[in-house]
Amino acid sequence: MSLRDAKLRSLPPSVCALGATAKAVDATGNRLSSLPAELSALTTIQRLVLSSNALATAPPVLWSLTTLKVLALDGNALTQLPAGLAELKKLEKLSVADNKLSSLPEALGELSSLKSLSVAGNAVTQLPDALGACTYLEELDASRNGLASVPASMGKLTRLRVLNLDANRITRIPAEVLQGCTALVTLSLHENPIDIQAMEEVPGWADMQGRIQGKNAKRVAGGVMLGDRGLDDGIDHSLTRVIVPHT
């Protein structure tokens, strides 16, 4: 069911009345500040998109929707994610970009099916160590936050292919991540105060750069457009040591 840009302040009863027949609900671009408890009737829903609304808290009814595979809460006013998130064992994609989060719960580590996570555009200063337990994670976007580091536990993410850390305050990447994330072919660190020379000495850096260059070489061979950065290796070389992140 699509309810996009309908100027809704609450979900109509017809949504909950769908019951077990509902597979997807998209209510993007409304004015929702809460969700009805009756939403739990959607016992087989797989996709719920609530982007660009007015949710200041994540309604508890969300954690009863245990069949969800996709949950999008971008562009709301969330200040925290409750531990109840751990109930969504089938969740494959979670996006909470552009909210007001300052921290993330350890419960993220219990999302055993998670493949894609976006927490971009918040005020998160630290990623939870438990993130290393999301062994199916392939893409992580934590750009535009206040991160000064990433946890070494992320080195357990052997399926991680894309890691976007642009516009943070990161000065180095742990060797555990560079060595353990053997599928990593996109590591973006633009607008971070990275010391490139120091990073070149971290174990695993050369191997990771080799994977990135190999990926770009294949893209060139296939005639793929690379964008205005050309062969982008994820670092602002022109600014060498000191790069001022966005505040």
Identify the pLDDT of residue 223. Answer: 40
Residues 149, 230: one domain? Answer: yes
Query: What is the model's pTM?
Result: 0.87
Residues 34, 146: one domain? Answer: no
Residues 100, 40: one domain? Answer: no
Residue type, 236: D
| Token pair recorded at residue 97 | 């970009």
Identify the pLDDT of residue 221. Answer: 44
Q: What does the alpha-carbon distance between residue 229 and residue 233 come to, in Å, rounded to a whole number?
A: 9
Boundary of a domain, candidates 43, 77, 111? 77
Identify the pLDDT of residue 210. Answer: 80
Compute CA distances 19 → 24, 44, 112, 172, whole Å.
Answer: 11, 8, 26, 49
Say which residues have a Cβ less than 8 Å from residue 215's Cβ, sequence separation at least 6: 185, 186
Q: What is the largest CA-CA distance in the chain?
A: 60
Residue with tokens 């695993």: 204
Residues 126, 182: one domain? Answer: yes
Residues 109, 206: one domain? Answer: yes
Residues 154, 217: one domain? Answer: yes
In whole angstroms, what separates CA 58 from the centre of its chain? 17
Residues 238, 153: one domain? Answer: yes
Residues 64, 140: one domain? Answer: no
Identify the pLDDT of residue 95. Answer: 98
Structural domain includes residue 240: yes
Q: What is the DSSP string of 186-197?
A: EEE-TTS---HH
Tell me the CA end-to-end span of the chain in Å, nearest whole number.
Answer: 38
Number of domains forming the structure of the chain? 2
Ranges under pLDDT 50 in the chain? 219-231, 239-247
Domain containing 187 equals 96-247
Q: What are phi and psi of 72, to 5 degrees?
A: -115, 120
pLDDT digits (tens, 9 = 90+) for 38-71: 999 999 999 999 999 999 999 999 999 999 999 9
Residues 21, 138: one domain? Answer: no
